[in-house]
Structures are given as structure tokens and as C-alpha cells.
């Protein structure tokens, strides 16, 4: 029997979920955006240290339209119809400066530790 060990996770500031599901986008745009996000986070210096942002791909965020969809936690901001240029602005304005790009947000769910409560 395989021994189960407790995994560990380095601290991070935010978690970005990118939908890569077939219903969200038709031609793999979500997966391309997810892959691009890795390099953009690295270039912005957001891949390590106290500013570390982690990313995860998901096959469904439950909206299933107007993708690619991107969700930023713990801020509770959900973005729709995101492309490379919009991702740049989300990184600059939201992930670095702390100001969500509300014109591309389709949902905002305040979290007790979110930006709205600071």
C-alpha cells in the first residue's frame, strides 16, 4: 500500500482559475490563456515570494458562455471574454495594483479578506 503523505503548499497572495472547458470556448482559447498566464506572471515577478500568484485550470466554472473565464480568489472577481490584452490589464491593475477591472467582471463575490473590505 502506498503511504499517504501530507502535501505542502508555499504561501501565495491570490489564486487565478482559468476555465479551459469545451463549453466555455470553442477553439482552446482558455487553455492558451492559461498557458500564457504562466509566462506573464513570471515576467511580472508574480511567480514567487510574497506577491506569488498561483494559477489553476478548471474544466468548468458553471457559467459556460462568454469565455475564456478567469476567476481571481480570494477577491471573488470573475472575468469574462478574456484575451491576451485584457489579461495584461488584469495583471497590472488587479493583481499588481489591487484594483479589479470591473468593466470585464461578470461577478463580484466579496470575501471577508477581499479588497473591498480593506
pTM for the full model? 0.88
Q: Could you tell me if 31 and 67 are in contact, meaning their C-beta atoms sit under 8 angstroms apart?
A: no
Give the start-to-end residue ranges of the domains of the chain. 14-117
Fold of 14-117: Glutaredoxin (3.40.30)
CA distance 98 to 101: 10
pLDDT tens track for 51-72: 999 999 999 888 888 999 999 9
* φ and ψ at residue 20, rounded to 5 degrees: -115, 15
Bridge partners for 71 per DSSP: 17, 78
113 vs 105, higher pLDDT? 105
Amino acid at each position: 500500500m502506498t503511504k499517504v503523505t501530507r502535501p505542502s503548499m508555499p504561501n501565495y497572495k491570490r489564486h487565478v482559475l482559468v476555465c479551459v472547458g469545451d463549453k466555455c470556448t470553442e477553439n482552446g482559447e482558455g487553455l492558451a490563456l492559461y498557458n500564457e498566464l504562466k509566462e506573464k506572471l513570471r515576467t511580472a515577478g508574480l511567480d514567487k515570494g510574497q506577491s506569488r500568484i498561483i494559477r489553476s485550470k478548471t474544466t468548468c466554472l458553471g457559467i459556460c458562455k462568454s469565455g475564456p473565464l478567469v476567476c481571481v480568489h480570494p477577491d471573488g472577481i470573475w472575468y469574462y471574454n478574456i484575451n491576451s490584452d485584457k489579461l495584461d490589464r488584469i495583471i497590472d491593475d488587479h493583481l499588481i495594483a489591487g484594483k479589479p477591472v470591473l468593466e470585464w467582471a461578470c461577478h463580484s463575490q466579496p470575501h471577508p479578506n477581499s479588497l473591498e473590505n480593506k
